[in-house]
Amino acid sequence: MMQFTETPPPPLHQISSFSNFTMNKNQIHRTRPWPGFPSSKSFASFGDANCMEQLLVHCANAIESNDATLAQQILWVLNNIAPPDGDSNQRLTCAFLRALITRAAKSGTCKMLAAMANAHCNLVVHNHKFSVIELASFVDLTPWHRFGFTAANAAILEAVDGCSVVHIVDFSLTHCMQIPTLIDAIANRFEGPPRLKLTVAGAAEDVPPMLDLSYEELGTKLVNFARSRNVMLEFRVIPSSYADGFASLIEQMRVQQLVYAESGEALVINCHMMLHYIPEETLNPSTTFSSLNPYSLEYYSSTSISLRSLFLKAIRSLEPTIVVLVDEDADLTANNLVCRLRSAFNYLWIPYDLVDTFLPRGSKQREWYEAAVCWKVENVIAHEGLQRVERLEPKSRWVQRMRNANFRGITFGEEAVSELKTMLDEHAAGWGLKKEEDDLVLTWKGHNAVFASAWVPAA
C-alpha cells in the first residue's frame, strides 16, 4: 500500500464533489467526476479493463497538467483496485500505476508525488541477471521469441543454400538464443555444412533480459556447440550500441567488405526485437545528435532522417543475402503521453494475460517475466528522450521503412508455416498464426503480438 504523506482523499462516495474540479477544458461538469466513471460505490466494478484504462488516462492527464491533487486521488483509487498480485488486468494496471508514479516523481512540479514515490519503496524494478541456462529456458516459456526464431531460421536456411560461408550478424534482444537451433538446422540440412561466422553487437545494454555471462564466454559455448555438430563457427563481438544505430558495427562491416571480398559468402542480418531501440523520428534530433555520430552530420540535421532509417540504409548498402526482421507489433512512439499510454495498455495486456497459462504464481520465472514487462511499461510511460528506449513501431511502419530502404519482402515457405503451427500447438491454446501478405504474425487470442518478415535487396 502506498503511504501518503498527507491525509487521504475523501472516500469514494463523496466523489461527486469531484465535479467541481476542472480537469481539462473539454470536461463537462457532471455529477460523476468524468464520463464513464461508474456510479457504483463499490470498488468491484472497477475490475473492468476499460475502466482501468480510463483511470490511467485521466491520471496521466492530471500529471501532465500538473494537477497534483487530482493525480493523487486517481492514483489512490488505482492503488486500491489494482493490487500487484491480482488478475492479469490488475497486474497490468499496477505496472502502469507504478510507471505513472515514477513519472510524476520525476517531473519537478509534482513534489507531493515525489514524496509518494519515495514511500513506495519498490518502485525500482529489479531485473534479474540470467544465467545462460536460465535464459535458454526463459525464452522458450512461450512462443513469443521462439516464433521469431523459427520463422527466421527457416528463411535463413532457404536463403543460404549453396553458400560455403555464412556470416550472420545477430541483432537480438535474446543474446544469441536463436543461434543453437540455427546451427542445428544448418548441420542437419547441409551435407557439408558451410562455415559460419557470427557477429554480435556486444554493448552492455541495460535492457532486460540481462545476461550474467560475458559475450566472449557465450561465444565460446556457441563455438563449442557448433563443433559438436561438425560446424565451424567463428564468433566475434563488436561493441556497438543501438543508441547510435550500431554505427561502429556498421563501420566494421563496411571495412570488412572492402578488404575481404569473399565470394560465395552469404550475409545474413538477423534482427530480433532489437531494432526498435534505435532512435527514430519522434526523438528530437537535436538531443540525440552527438559529435561521435559517424552518420553524416549535415545530412542528419538537414534532412532529419532518423538513425533508424539510416541504419536500414546502411544495412542495405552491405548487400545482404537476407534480412530477417522480427519485432513486436505495437505503436509506442507517440510523443503524447496519453496516446502512448493507450497504445501500451492495449498491447501490454497480452504478456500479462498469457503468463497465467504457463507460469504459476510465485515462481521465480514468473517474477522475472513480469519484471521485464514492468520495465517496459516504466520505460514507455515514465521516461522521455534518450532514456525512453522502447520505441516500438507497428509492422506496417517497419514494412514501409524496409521498402524505403530499398528492400523487397519475401514470403516464408510452407514448411516454415507448418513448423510454426506445430510449434504453436505444443503451447497452450490461445496462440495463433496469421499470414499478412508476405509476413507472419503471432497472435494471442486473435490480437497481433509479434511479427516476422524477411527481406532481400530490391533490384
Partner 1 sequence: MPVDLENSSTASGEASVSSTGNQNAPPKSTNKKKRSLPGTPDPDAEVIALSPKTLLATNRFVCEICNKGFQRDQNLQLHRRGHNLPWKLRQRSNKEVKKRVYVCPEKSCVHHDPTRALGDLTGIKKHFCRKHGEKKWKCDKCSKKYAVQSDYKAHSKVCGTKEYKCNCGAVFSRRDSFITHRAFCDMLTKESAKVQSEEPNLIEGMVKPNTESDPKVQPVDSSTSTPPTAVLAPALTKSTAAVSSSVSPGQSSEMPENSPQVVEEAPLSAALNGSCSSSSSSSSTGTKSSSVFASLFASSTASATLQPSQTPVLTDLMRAMAPPERPTDVGSSSSTDPIALCLSTNPGSSIFGSGGQEPRQYSQPAMSATALLQKAAQMGAAASNATLLRGFGIVSSSSSASAHEDSVRWSERSFESDNVSLPGLGLGLPCEGSSGLKELMMGTPSVFGPNKPTLDFLGLGMAAGGATPGVGRSALVPPAGGALDVAAGAASLGGGGGGGGEIAGKDIGTSS
Asked if 187 is part of the footprint of partner 1 (rule: CB under 8 A), the reply reads yes
CB atoms within 10 A of CB 229: 14
Asked if 295 is part of the footprint of partner 1 (rule: CB under 8 A), the reply reads no
CA distance 381 to 103: 7
Q: Which of residues 232-251 bind partner 1 (CB under 8 A)?
A: 232
Q: How far is the CB of 233 from partner 1 (least distance, A)?
A: 9
Phi, psi of 20 (to 5 degrees): -80, -20
Q: How far is the CB of 309 from partner 1 (least distance, A)?
A: 33
Total residues in contact with partner 1, by rule CB under 8 A: 31
Q: Pick from 2, 12, 115, 136: which binds partner 1 (CB under 8 A)?
A: 136
User: Are the C-beta atoms of residues 246 and 311 closer than 8 Å to each other?
Assistant: yes
Q: How far is the CB of 188 from partner 1 (least distance, A)?
A: 9
State the burial class of residue 292 (Cβ atoms within 10 Å of its Cβ: 0-12, 13-18, 19+): exposed
Q: Pick from 227, 421, 434, 435: which binds partner 1 (CB under 8 A)?
A: 227
CB atoms within 10 A of CB 122: 8
String of DSSP letters for 201-263? E-----PSSEESS-HHHHHHHHHHHHHHTT--EEEEEE---GGGTSHHHHHHHHHHHHH---T
Asked if 366 is part of the footprint of partner 1 (rule: CB under 8 A), the reply reads no
- Judged by CB under 8 A, which stretch of 218-226, 240-248, 260-268, 279-287 contacts partner 1? 218-226
Q: Pick from 158, 184, 205, 234: which binds partner 1 (CB under 8 A)?
A: 184
Grid cell digits, residue 323: 534480412
Q: Pick from 179, 324, 325, 355: which binds partner 1 (CB under 8 A)?
A: 179
Q: Pick from 28, 133, 292, 459: which binds partner 1 (CB under 8 A)?
A: 133
Q: Pick from 40, 109, 224, 418: which binds partner 1 (CB under 8 A)?
A: 224
Asked if 363 is part of the footprint of partner 1 (rule: CB under 8 A), the reply reads no
Q: How far is the CB of 150 from partner 1 (least distance, A)?
A: 7
Asked if 443 is part of the footprint of partner 1 (rule: CB under 8 A), the reply reads no
Q: Closest Cα to residue 53, out of 8, 9, 97?
A: 97
Q: Pick from 106, 129, 221, 236: which binds partner 1 (CB under 8 A)?
A: 221
- Judged by CB under 8 A, which stretch of 75-83, 137-145, 273-281, 315-323 contacts partner 1? 137-145
Asked if 140 is part of the footprint of partner 1 (rule: CB under 8 A), the reply reads yes
Q: Closest Cα to residue 455, out of 410, 424, 417?
A: 410
Asked if 112 is part of the footprint of partner 1 (rule: CB under 8 A), the reply reads no
CA distance 85 to 107: 28
Q: Which of residues 400-439 bind partner 1 (CB under 8 A)?
A: 423, 426, 428-429
- Judged by CB under 8 A, which stretch of 182-190, 260-268, 323-331, 400-408 contacts partner 1? 182-190
Length of the chain: 459
SS3 state of residue 453: strand
Q: Alpha carbon of 103 to those of 10, 37, 107, 206, 453: distances in Å?
A: 24, 24, 6, 19, 35
SS3 state of residue 306: coil
- Judged by CB under 8 A, which stretch of 112-120, 134-142, 276-284, 307-315 contacts partner 1? 134-142
Q: Closest Cα to residue 458, out of 313, 311, 329?
A: 313
**Interacting residues with partner 1 (CB under 8 A):** 132-133, 136-137, 139-140, 146, 149-150, 177, 179-181, 183-184, 187, 218, 221-222, 224-225, 227-230, 232, 357, 423, 426, 428-429
